[in-house]
């Protein structure tokens, strides 16, 4: 590993956080892929510290070092809360990390991943093999369409819906942050249906975090925000919203089910599940007002 700041001999990646005057940077060891799709600029590069990094329009989506923090927390919370998830819809998530986690649950017979940008999926399969490892599994169906339109084709169909979307301000992500979209997700879920959506961070994108939560609340009777560490996303503290037609994320949670899970999990466990729903006082107060 090379220490020290020698800017002229290297390529550097800078992600600017909202409102644009601070952020994160990394030294690029090798560019693996750069392209402009119809929707966004896609970059995948090798770094010494974070492993391979996938970025869209200069915003970090996945790094090999911490992809499990985000994907495990987004996926296993709604998956473990459903009594028997068989059919799952992932919206966005083109790198494949969410699908990989969904398929750790043996009850799953089918996962549809609706990603708007086929070029993201093709690039992930080629350059992010650890994250995209399950995209060719026979239980997976890939659909290339705007998820906010696709979900409207279904009523009472999916046991779990996972929204692994870009920020509302980036690419086509905004469609996945509307009340109409969340209502369509509600309709597409079965009676015991559970739902989770990435919901930004309090520090830099608090307006969107509150917006996502309050809009999901307009569509679902049970809506709870939860948090996890996510080192390479803005502020390192990431928010997600769990929602359901009736299942409560704490009262209906079975610790035994998690303890007896046979697949390897690196972040999520039964204690983390409960702890993730414990919110700091300032955040609790803010959400009570919404
Ligand atoms: N799991 C990786 C993390 C992501 S990727 C989000 C994906 O959502 C992208 O591949 C993008 O192309 C896709 N996407 C964006 N809009 C839509 C849409 N309307 N329909 C379907 N897919 C869409 C998310 C990282 C979170 C950001 C952290 N700051």
- Domains detected in the chain: 7-63 (2.30.140.10), 67-288 (3.40.50.150)
Which of 42, 53, 92, 181 most suits a substitution to test ligand 1, by most atoms within 8 Å of the C-beta? 92
SS3 134: coil
Assigned token pair, 35: 């392209």
Whether residue 3 has pLDDT greater than 70? no
pLDDT at 168: 84
Please indicate, yes or no, whether the overall pTM of this predicted structure exceeds 0.90: yes
pLDDT at 5: 61
Q: Which of 165, 166, 140 lies closest to 57, judged by CA?
A: 166
pLDDT at 85: 98
Where residue 8 falls among pLDDT bands split at 50, 70, 90? low
pLDDT digits (tens, 9 = 90+) for 143-189: 999 999 999 999 999 999 999 999 887 777 788 999 999 999 999 99
Contact 222, 246 (CB under 8 A): yes
Whether residue 105 has pLDDT greater than 60? yes
CA gyration radius for the chain?
A: 18
Catalytic residue among 159, 164, 201, 205: 164
Contact 96, 124 (CB under 8 A): yes
pLDDT digits (tens, 9 = 90+) for 12-65: 999 999 999 999 999 999 999 999 999 999 999 999 999 999 999 999 999 999
Q: Which atom of ligand 1 is nearest to the CA of 176?
A: 19
- Spacing, Cα 115 to ligand 1 middle (Å): 7
- For the question of an ipTM over 0.95, the answer is yes
pLDDT digits (tens, 9 = 90+) for 227-259: 999 999 999 999 999 999 999 999 999 999 999
**For the chain, what is the mean pLDDT?**
96
pLDDT at 150: 98
164 belongs to the catalytic site: yes
Q: Which atom of ligand 1 is nearest to the CA of 117?
A: 12
- Spacing, Cα 145 to ligand 1 middle (Å): 12
* CA distances (Å), origin 261, targets 108, 132, 265: 14, 22, 9
Assigned token pair, 253: 């949670």
pLDDT at 49: 97
Query: Whose alpha carbon is nearest atom 19 of ligand 1?
Result: 146
Where residue 7 falls among pLDDT bands split at 50, 70, 90? low
Which of 55, 149, 173 most suits a substitution to test ligand 1, by most atoms within 8 Å of the C-beta? 173
Our measurement of the distance from residue 39's CA atom to the centroid of its chain's CA atoms, rounded to an integer in Å, reads 19
Whether residue 207 has pLDDT greater than 70? yes
Q: Which of 234, 277, 219 lies closest to 252, judged by CA?
A: 277
pLDDT digits (tens, 9 = 90+) for 107-119: 999 999 999 999 9
Q: Which of 121, 123, 113, 122 lies closest to 151, judged by CA?
A: 113
**Burial class of residue 170 in the structure, from the number of CB atoms within 10 Å of its CB (0-12 exposed, 13-18 middle, 19+ buried):** middle
Whether residue 1 has pLDDT greater than 70? no
């Amino acid at each position: 590993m090379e220490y020290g700041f020698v800017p002229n001999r290297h390529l550097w990646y800078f992600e600017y956080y909202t409102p644009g005057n601070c952020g994160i940077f990394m030294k690029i060891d090798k560019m693996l892929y750069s392209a402009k799709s119809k929707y966004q600029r896609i970059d995948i590069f090798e770094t010494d510290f974070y492993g391979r990094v996938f970025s869209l329009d200069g915003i970090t989506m996945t790094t090999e070092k911490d992809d499990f923090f985000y994907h495990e927390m987004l996926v296993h919370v709604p998956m473990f809360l459903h009594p028997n998830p068989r059919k799952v819809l992932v919206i966005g998530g083109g790198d494949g990390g969410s699908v990989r986690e969904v398929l750790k649950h043996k009850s799953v017979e089918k996962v549809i991943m609706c990603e708007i940008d086929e070029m993201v999926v093709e690039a992930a399969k080629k350059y992010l093999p650890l994250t995209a490892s399950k995209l060719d599994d026979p239980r997976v169906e890939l659909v290339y369409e705007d998820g906010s339109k696709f979900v409207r084709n279904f009523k009472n169909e999916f046991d779990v819906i996972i929204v692994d979307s870009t920020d509302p301000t980036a690419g086509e992500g905004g469609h996945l942050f509307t009340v109409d979209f969340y209502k369509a997700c509600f309709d597409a879920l079965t009676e015991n249906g559970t739902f989770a959506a990435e919901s930004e961070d309090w520090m830099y994108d608090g307006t969107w975090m509150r917006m996502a939560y309050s809009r999901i609340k307009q569509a679902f009777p049970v809506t709870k925000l939860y948090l996890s560490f996510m080192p390479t996303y803005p502020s390192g503290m990431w928010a997600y919203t769990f929602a359901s037609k009736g299942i409560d994320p704490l009262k209906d949670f079975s610790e035994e089910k998690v303890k007896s899970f046979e697949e390897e999990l690196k972040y999520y466990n039964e204690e983390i599940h409960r702890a993730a729903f414990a919110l700091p006082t300032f955040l609790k107060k803010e959400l009570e007002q919404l």
